Structure 1
């Protein structure tokens, strides 16, 4: 299937990384819509095994690579292992998808940028990762572009969802346990619900958009401090929250100070971006905090 060939039947979807937060929501969206979808997790296929990946991809029309090493801090000490999953495995999936004639959707991240901008990053902005995680994900993007011409690279950021640990669940728990919280106010981004991202991926494929890079984040922007205040309000907590700086929470991997991604490519392809982060959080909160 190419971006310009009309679909004559419902495509057969394969979701790699199906056990993750995004993978579970994507499978849920697809199956609820009656789509033909198969999900494979870490126990089902080793994405670093090229032969296993080729065998898994055969017979599918759309392959979503949501498998990734996402332990950002651990990647600083285990960059080679992270590279195997985020770059080498991405190349395996890309080659397999191309050989099978499948459209590849590869999920990437804001960490491929340096976080030093003051305006939303365009899809074609130069990549300049500052962390091991960012470097491995950037390498994965290059591999996908080189090996699978019919690809959609979908960058996302600040993900949260109902399936698995995430920032809102952590902050709601801490807000219930502690007398007050201090949260960084100098990192700005777009909190994004995995279900919204899953639905966007389906919309992109259904629209048969041109191959290329797209940004799958909510609209608008806030800081972790601003997001935390919304989270606590949704949880019915009145715990005081104080703004602080990143210097108070030094981590092994540097965090991008500015993770706001632009959505021009979506609009150019006729696909509506995800709505404002605050509105989407209100819709997501009941399931995420359940």
Structure 2
């Protein structure tokens, strides 16, 4: 069973998992995860073995002004799903974020490093992690970063449109992370089905700033990368604080003999159709 089935990650989960599993997906129109009774009724009916919980309120700045909604979806919604999963002895996968860290470390974050989120989004997602782990000790927490995929609003699609229009853009150059293609994340999810629960970091390897990422997207789209200018986070003026460095070490994947995803540059080319998605 997949929650958030109409989002870019939910769609990719269904697309890949349906080749080997019976999959049923629920978008927010079919399942309101903030309604405990509704969640229990739906999960009773489906009786899943595994629940992949991709539903989330992911607008980082939006969470700052819609605090109640952030907690209702990212924390209480996760708790409702976990509680119902426990009633059916179902395995639960909770998709979390690199924004649970404060970005002060300057080295890739290990799975059990201390968390210290800077934003309501990060705080609400960490609270979701904690409640899922408390209710379901065998659950799997997946922290990922800078996610993009087909059929969703994301940074890559926005920059592609700007590049197509040869638009000048200004992008922050003092936040470092790892862009992650949903197809590569879901490949690892498939491998984790048979692995022990716990916290896993999963992202494409390598790192860059949002500015470097944007320049690469412009270049791959055949537009002039010089149309992309750098600025600081302070100059850009976002509502939510973001970690300045949130690269994720993937030591737990390696511990269970799973090869981390390919480099972010290769994944971007695959997403843009410039090479096979299986390369």
Q: TM-score, length-normalised on structure 2?
A: 0.93
CA distance in 2, matches of 1:218, 1:108: 15
1:144 alignment counterpart: 132
CA distance in 2, matches of 1:173, 1:214: 33
1:72 is matched with which residue: 56, 60, 76? 60
Q: Deviations over 1:220-264 (max 9, x none)?
A: 111111111211122111251222211221111012111100100
1:7 alignment counterpart: none
1:216 alignment counterpart: 202
Pairwise mapping of residues 149-164 of structure 1 onto structure 2 (< 5 A)? 149-164=137-152
CA distance in 1, matches of 2:177, 2:137: 30
Contact 1:69 1:86 in 2 (8 A): yes
CA distance in 1, matches of 2:64, 2:170: 25
1:251 aligns with 2:219: no
Stretches of structure 2 lacking an aligned partner (at least 5 in a row) = 275-279
Q: Deviations over 1:173-196 (max 9, x none)?
A: 222335533221111100000111
CA distance in 2, matches of 1:179, 1:37: 41
| Secondary structure of the structure 2 residue equivalent to 1:265 | helix
Contact 1:17 1:67 in 2 (8 A): yes
1:35 alignment counterpart: 21
CA distance in 2, matches of 1:285, 1:229: 15
1:227 aligns with 2:213: yes
CA distance in 2, matches of 1:248, 1:174: 20
2:277 alignment counterpart: none
| Secondary structure of the structure 2 residue equivalent to 1:80 | helix
- Runs (4+) of structure 1 exceeding 6 A deviation are none
Q: Deviations over 1:13-47 (max 9, x none)?
A: x000101110011111112x242100000011110
Q: Deviations over 1:119-147 (max 9, x none)?
A: 00110011101111111111001100110
Deviation, 1:101, is 0.9
2:32 alignment counterpart: 46
1:196 alignment counterpart: 184
C-alpha distance 49-179 of structure 1, shift in aligned 2 (>3 A)? closer
Deviation, 1:280, is 1.2
Pairwise mapping of residues 87-166 of structure 1 onto structure 2 (< 5 A)? 87-166=75-154
Stretches of structure 1 lacking an aligned partner (at least 5 in a row) = 1-13
Contact 1:187 1:246 in 2 (8 A): yes
| Secondary structure of the structure 2 residue equivalent to 1:63 | strand
Contact 2:78 2:128 in 1 (8 A): yes
RMSD (CA atoms)? 1.4
CA distance in 2, matches of 1:77, 1:172: 28
Contact 1:114 1:128 in 2 (8 A): yes
CA distance in 2, matches of 1:275, 1:176: 27
Aligned length: 271
CA distance in 2, matches of 1:234, 1:195: 19
1:265 aligns with 2:255: no
2:156 alignment counterpart: 168
CA distance in 2, matches of 1:97, 1:244: 45
